[in-house]
Amino acid sequence: MSNVDRVFAGSIPQLYERLLVPLIFQPYAKDLAARVHLLRPSSVLEIAAGTGAVTRRLARELATDARIVATDLNQAMLDQAGAVGTSRPVEWRQADAMQLPFPGETFDVVVCQFGAMFFPDRAKAFSEARRVLRPGGHCIFNVWDRIEENEFADVVTRALEELFPNDPPRFLARTPHGYHDRSVIDRDLRGGGFGEPAAFTTVTARSRAESARIPAIAYCEGTPLRSEIEQRSSSGLQRATDAAAEALTARFGSGAVDGKIQAHVVSVRR
């Protein structure tokens, strides 16, 4: 994984919130928050909260006296989350999943939406999640399935392979969709100290937009894929976005577009 893969800065947080959250993150945020709600926690730590898609759902669904702490490595993403706001106060805090700034046995649930793929040492991150969980607490997270099961991301990646044949940008396949093997996830959880077997649930949803241009902009300009494109050509971002939009239109039509998205939800108890 390139260090660039973990940088969400510049205009990325705004585009991420405006385009990607409704495009692919909202249905999974609703799903994760519902799973956390069933556990009736008094305290929840969210890791890699991004711009707060899950945080906002948790704030609405959990008991009003439940403590919610939302963290992210990138302060720019937390700033955007804070600008959007939540229905009730939550604690926003910049934090590295590799070294969480909380005492041991502090939280009933640790939740993470599409963040585990970005951890440079996943076993270490899971060990930190386990450390801050109370005995009997749950770690719940989701990860994208392989890119072929996520149609918009797959089409965009293939379009960029044609545009940059000698050195195609592979961020989407490499990182967001690069951590879906259950045996690998199980291994990393065991490496993090979780002794109980993890439960895996595959959740399929639909990604919809008014036009193909919306997912083209969302993926090419609202994720670290943007930096990867710009590294290859100082003027390539517009060409890449146009190529992605053309490929999406060719696959899904010139009007509203509708594509499959799929992820795995993982739950493990301390």
**pLDDT at residue 2 above 60?**
no
- pLDDT tens across 145-194, in order? 999 999 999 999 999 999 999 999 999 999 999 999 999 999 999 999 99
| Structural domains for the chain | 3-147+170-206+261-269 (3.40.50.150)
Query: How does DSSP classify residue 7?
Result: -
- pLDDT tens across 226-257, in order? 999 999 987 899 999 999 999 999 999 999 99
**pLDDT band at residue 48 under the 50/70/90 scheme:** very high
**pLDDT band at residue 1 under the 50/70/90 scheme:** low
- pLDDT tens across 62-97, in order? 999 999 999 999 999 999 999 999 999 999 999 999
**pLDDT at residue 10 above 90?**
no
**pLDDT band at residue 8 under the 50/70/90 scheme:** confident
Residue holding tokens 């300009």?
A: 221
Region of residue 48 (left: phi > 0; alpha: psi -120 to 50; beta: else): left
What's the first-to-final CA gap in the chain, in angstroms?
28
* Strand pairing class (67-72; 91-94): parallel
| Distances 50 to 16, 45, 241 between C-alpha atoms, Å | 9, 13, 23
